[in-house]
Structure 1
Amino acid sequence: MTRTSFVIVVVLVISSFQMMESSPDLANEVKANIQYNAINCRKHSAVITEFGAVGDGKTSNTKAFKEAITKLAPKAADGGVQLIVPPGKWLTGSFNLTSHFTLFIQKDATILASQDESEYPVVAPLPSYGQGRDAAGPTFASLISGTNLTDVVITGNNGTINGQGKYWWGKYRSGGFKNITRPYTLELMFSKDVQISNITIIDSPAWNIHPVYCTNVIVKGVTILAPIDSPNTDGINPDSCTNTLIEDCFVVSGDDCIAVKSGWDQFGIKVGMPTQQLSIRRLTCISPDSAGIALGSEMSGGIKDVRMEDITLLQTQSAIRIKTAVGRGGYVKDIFARRFTMKTMKYVFWMSGAYNQHPASGYDPKAMPEVTNINYRDMTADNVTQPARLDGFTNDPFTKICMSNINIALAAEPKELLWNCTAISGVSSKVTPKPCSLLPETAPVDCAFPVDKIPVESVVLNKCSA
C-alpha cells in the first residue's frame, strides 16, 4: 500500500468512527447495557455523543455537557432524565447538573477535567466561609456542580473522573493562586436526595467530593486516588449537611480521607448550619500526612451525632482528628466510633485546639468551641508512634471522652511520652498502653454507640436501567 493510500484509509476509518460516535444506533446500544442501583430511576435517557461530544481526550466538550443538561432538564419533571457518558475520554470544563437527573459514567469512560482556567466560571465564596480556602477571594466553580437541586445521582459502573490536578497543584505551590481558590471535583449545594456512587475520582485539583448545605446524601462505593503529597486533596467533605451516609469507599489522599465541616469562624457561626446525623462505615484510607477522619477544623456551625464503624486505616497520620481553635465557636459533640483496624500510624487519637487558620479579621476571640461526649471503642492498632495527643483549652477543656477495649501496639521507636494530654477529662476501660491520668481507668465498660439508625441508612436503592 502506498503512503497516500494508507492516509486515505486512516482518514476513512477516523471519519467512520466519528460518524459512529454520534449515530442513533450506537446511542441505543449504549443505553441497552446500562444497569445500576439508585435512589430513583429515570424515564428518559440520552448519550453525551447525541450533543456533539467527542471522546478523544483533546476536544473540549464543555458546550456539549451544558447543552445536554439544558435540553434534558425540561423532561426531568416527567419521570426524570439520565445522561450517559460512554467509553472514551471526555474533556470538559465546569458544568451544572439539574434536578431529577442521573449522570452515568460507564466503565472505560473518563470525564477529563480541563486545565484551562477559562473553562471554570468564577463564583462567590460560600456564605459559611466568607472566602475561598486557598485565598481571600472568590473560587473557581467545581468541575461538576449543582445548587438547589432535588434528586440528583452521579453514578456508573466504575467510570472515572480525572481532575488532572497536577497543573493546579503546581500553580498552588508556586503561589499562583493569590486571589482565587482552585476548583473542587464535585460540589453540590443546598440540595436534597443526593447519591454519588460507584465511580473513581483521581487527581482532583483540591477537595474531591463536597456536599454543602445538603440533606439526605449517600456516598457509596467510591474510589478516590491522589498522590500522598498532593495539596488539599481531601476525599469526602460533608459540610453543614444533615442525614448523610458514607460507606464502602476507598481513599488515598494527600489530605484527610474524610473531613467533616460546618463553616469557618464568624461566617460559620452566622450561617449556623451543623453537620449532623452522619454515618461513616467500611472506609479504607491511606493518608500518611493527614487523618482518616477529621472533624473540623472549620466546625463553627457545629458537628454532632457522627457514627463511624468498621474503618481500616493504613499508613495514615491519625485515625480520628478533632481540629478546632479559639474563635471557631460551634461544637463537636456526640461522636461515636467503633471497630477500627489500623496499621502504621503516627497517632491514633488526636485532638487539637490550636488549628489557628482564620479566614479574615473580625473573628471573635471569645467564641470558644465546645468539644464533648467523644466515644471510641473496640479498636486495634499496630506500629504506632504515639497513641494519643489530646490538647484542649485551659479555660475550656474537652470533656466526656470515653475510650474502651482498645489495643495499641507501639512502633519500634515510639515517642517517650505515649499519651500527651492537656485540658481534657474522661474515662478509659481496657485500653493498652495505659492512658494518661486525665483518662483514668474505670470499671469495665463499653463506651456508647447508638443502637438506632439515622434515616438515610434505611434507604433501599432501586434497580435501574436505561
Structure 2
Amino acid sequence: MRTSRNYFSSIKKGILAVIVLSGSSVFAQAPQPPVVQTVSFRSDTINIVNHGAKGDGHFLNTTAINKAIEQSSLQGGGVVLIPSGLWLTGPIILKSNVNLHLKRDAILFFTDDFDQYKLIAANWEGQPAWRNQSPISGTDLTNIAITGSGVIDGNGDAWRMVKKSKLTDSQWKNLVNSGGVVDKSSQIWYPSEKSLAGSKDKKAGVMTAGTSSSDYEHIKDFLRPNLLVLTNCKKVLLEGVTIQNSPAWNLHPLLCEDLTLRRLLVRNPWYGQNGDGVDIESCKNVLIEDCTFDVGDDGICIKSGRDKSGRERGKPTENVLIRNNVVYHAHGGFVIGSEMSGGAKNIWVQDCSFIGTDIGLRFKTKRGRGGTVENIFIENINMIDIPGEAILFDMYYEAVDPVPMAGEKREKVKAEKIPVTEETPQFKNFHIKNVFVNGAEKGIFFRGLPEMNIQDITIENVTIQAKKGIDIIEASNIKLKDIIIFSKETAPVVHIENAQNIVFENLKYQEEASLLFDLYGENSKNIQVIKTDVNKVKTISKMESGLSKSVLKIKK
C-alpha cells in the first residue's frame, strides 16, 4: 500500500519559514522569529498488519509495531501506517526517518500491564530520575513524525493517584470500589501499594550515586511515565493526532531542535496529577500552532531543567513561536517554569485563547532554581472565566495548585532578602500587548524577590474584568500603558509594595473605586501616573506610615 503523495507534499518543503510579525511594537525589540526546519519522508509505506498486528483491542501489538518501525528505518525511512482498529500495545520506540501515521478511526491504546514498561534512566521535572519507560519514546533521532487524525491514548487512569477533593462523592466511591488503596487520611487514592509507597518519598526515583533500577522496584508503580518523550532529536513533526490520557505529562520534547507541533488535540482529565499538555524543555527552534489543549496541569509550558542539574546542563529553551492555540482547562494557559534553571529566551506567543484555565499567562520560579527568563513577546491573548490571575509573575512558587480548594488556607509569603547567587532566578524583558479578559480572580500580579526584582516589563492595551485589580510587589522598571481594569473590589485598584520605577499611563478603572493606590514598603519609590483621570476616585492614594508623598507622582 502506498500513501497518497499529495498528503506528504506539504511536509516535503524542507524549510518552514515562520512569518515575520511586522508592524507591532511588542516585537520591535525582538530578534527575528525562528526558522524551523521540518521533515521530509519517502512515500514508501509499511502497514503494521503486515507484521502480524491485530486491531481487536485484545492482541498485544508491541512487537509488530516496533518491527514495522525498525524495518522502515533500516530501508531508508517512510511511513508506518496504523490503520483502522483498536491497537493495544506496550512501549513504542521511534526511529529516524519514520513517520508514524494514524488513520482517523485508529486508536493506539497502551496496556495497563505495568510489567511491559521497564524502569529506565530518564528525566522527571528537570532532574535525572528512574521512571517507567514512556509509551512512546525516541532518543538521538533525526527526521521523525507522528501524523494523521487518529487517537493515541496513554491509559493514564491505570497509573494516576487521585485526590478525593477533585471528585464528586459518587465518583470517589466508585473509584475506591474499583480497587487500589487509599492513604491513611482517606484523601488520596492510589492504584497499588507500590504507588502508595512511592508517594511517601519526596524524591522518589531521583537518581543517587550507587543505585540502580532494582533499588526502586518497590515503588515502581509510582514512577509514572510521560506519554511521549523525545530526547535529543532533530527535525520533528507532530501533526493532526489526538494525544490523551497520559500517566503524567502528555508531550515532553527534551533537548530537541527544529520541532513543529501543529493541529494537535491534547487532552488529560482535569484531576490528573502532573497532567501537563506539552512541556518544551531545553529545546531550540520550536513552532506550536493551531493546537487545542484541555488538561490536568499546565497547558503549554516552557522548561529548561531544575536547580543544579538544570544549571549544569545549561541549555535554555530558545527561539519559540506559539500561535493560534486554544487552552481550556489547565493550571496555566501559557507557562514558563518553574523548572527553568537553564533559562528561556526569545519566545513569541501570539493569537491564543485561554478558556477556564486557572491562570492565563503564568510565569513561576523560586529561590534555588537560578536561570534567566528574558525576551518574551506576547500579543493578542483572549481569556474568559479565569479562576486565578489573568497575568501572573511569581518567584515564590511552591508546587501547589494555583487555585486553593474550598477551606484550604495558605500561609502568607515571608519576604526576606538574601544574597544573590547562581541559585537566584531572574525574570526580565517581557513585552505583553493586546490582552482581553472577561472574568478573573485578579487582573495582574507581580511578586519578585527582595534580592532580585521582576524587572523591565511592559504591558500595553489590556482590558480586564476581575474581582481584584493589580498587585506589584518587589518589581522594578514596570510600564503599564492603556490598561482598563474593572475590579469588583473597589479598594485598592492597585497595590504596590517595595516597587520602584513604575509607570502607569492612561490607566482606567471602575467609577465606583474608593481607593486607587495603596503603597507599602520602604523601598517603594518613583511611582508615576501619567494621562490618568484621578478625579473619579474617592481617595487617590493611601501610604504606609513613613513613606514620603513624593513616592507617587501624578502628571497630566
TM-score category, normalised to shorter length: 0.7 to 0.9
Partner of 1:380: 436
CA distances 1:332-365 after superposition (whole Å, capped 9, x unpaired): 111111100110112111111112469xxxxx97
Q: What letter is aligned with 2:154? A: G
Question: Percent sequence identity over matched residues?
Answer: 29
- TM-score between both structures, scaled by the size of structure 2: 0.68
Q: CA deviation at 1:372?
A: 0.3
- Pick one of 126, 129, 141 that aligns with 2:133: 141
More relative contact order, 1 or 2 (CA 8 Å, 6+ apart): 1
Q: 1:192 to 1:203 in 2, by over 3 A?
A: same
Q: What is the rounded CA distance, in whole Å, between the counterparts of 1:86 and 1:366 in structure 2?
A: 52
Q: What letter is aligned with 1:223? A: L
Partner of 2:520: none
Q: What is the rounded CA distance, in whole Å, between the counterparts of 1:332 and 1:108 in structure 2?
A: 42
Q: 1:357 to 1:436 in 2, by over 3 A?
A: closer
Partner of 1:307: 348
Q: CA deviation at 1:129?
A: 3.2
Partner of 1:447: none
Q: CA deviation at 1:386?
A: 0.6
- Pick one of 102, 112, 122 that aligns with 2:119: 122
Q: What is the rounded CA distance, in whole Å, between the counterparts of 1:104 and 1:184 in structure 2?
A: 20
Residue 256 of structure 1 aligns to a residue whose secondary structure is coil
Question: Is the 1:327–1:365 contact (alpha carbons within 8 Å) kept by the matching residues of 2?
Answer: no
Partner of 2:100: 103
Partner of 1:455: none
Q: CA deviation at 1:287?
A: 1.9
Partner of 2:172: none
Q: What is the rounded CA distance, in whole Å, between the counterparts of 1:220 and 1:400 in structure 2?
A: 32
Question: Is the 1:186–1:209 contact (alpha carbons within 8 Å) kept by the matching residues of 2?
Answer: yes
Q: 1:242 to 1:314 in 2, by over 3 A?
A: same
Task: Give me the CA root mean square deviation.
Answer: 2.2
Q: CA deviation at 1:47?
A: 0.4
Q: 1:257 to 1:248 in 2, by over 3 A?
A: same
Partner of 1:54: 54
Q: 1:381 to 1:440 in 2, by over 3 A?
A: same
Could you list the runs of 5+ residues in structure 1 that have no partner in the other structure?
1-27, 133-137, 359-363, 445-466
Q: What is the rounded CA distance, in whole Å, between the counterparts of 1:431 and 1:173 in structure 2?
A: 45
- Pick one of 428, 434, 447 that aligns with 1:391: 447
Residue 404 of structure 1 aligns to a residue whose secondary structure is strand
Q: What is the rounded CA distance, in whole Å, between the counterparts of 1:206 and 1:116 in structure 2?
A: 16
For residues 195-210 of structure 1, the aligned pairs below 5 Å read 195-210=237-252
- TM-score between both structures, scaled by the size of structure 1: 0.81
CA distances 1:412-435 after superposition (whole Å, capped 9, x unpaired): xx24xx222211121110012265
Question: Is the 2:41–2:98 contact (alpha carbons within 8 Å) kept by the matching residues of 1?
Answer: no
- Pick one of 151, 156, 159 that aligns with 1:160: 151
Q: What letter is aligned with 2:344? A: I
Q: What letter is aligned with 1:431? A: I
Partner of 1:421: 472
Q: What is the rounded CA distance, in whole Å, between the counterparts of 2:307 and 2:126 in structure 1?
A: 8
Q: CA deviation at 1:208?
A: 0.8
For residues 257-268 of structure 1, the aligned pairs below 5 Å read 257-268=299-310
1:276 corresponds to 2:318: yes
Residue 237 of structure 1 aligns to a residue whose secondary structure is strand
Q: CA deviation at 1:177?
A: 6.5
For residues 350-365 of structure 1, the aligned pairs below 5 Å read 350-356=392-398
Q: What letter is aligned with 2:452? A: D
For residues 313-324 of structure 1, the aligned pairs below 5 Å read 313-324=354-365
- Pick one of 247, 270, 274 that aligns with 1:228: 270
Q: How many residues align?
A: 396
Question: Is the 2:471–2:494 contact (alpha carbons within 8 Å) kept by the matching residues of 1?
Answer: no
Could you list the runs of 5+ residues in structure 2 that have no partner in the other structure?
12-38, 162-179, 181-187, 199-203, 206-222, 401-419, 486-492, 508-556
Partner of 2:512: none
Larger Rg computed on CA atoms: 2
Q: 1:196 to 1:435 in 2, by over 3 A?
A: farther
Q: What is the rounded CA distance, in whole Å, between the counterparts of 1:321 and 1:81 in structure 2?
A: 40
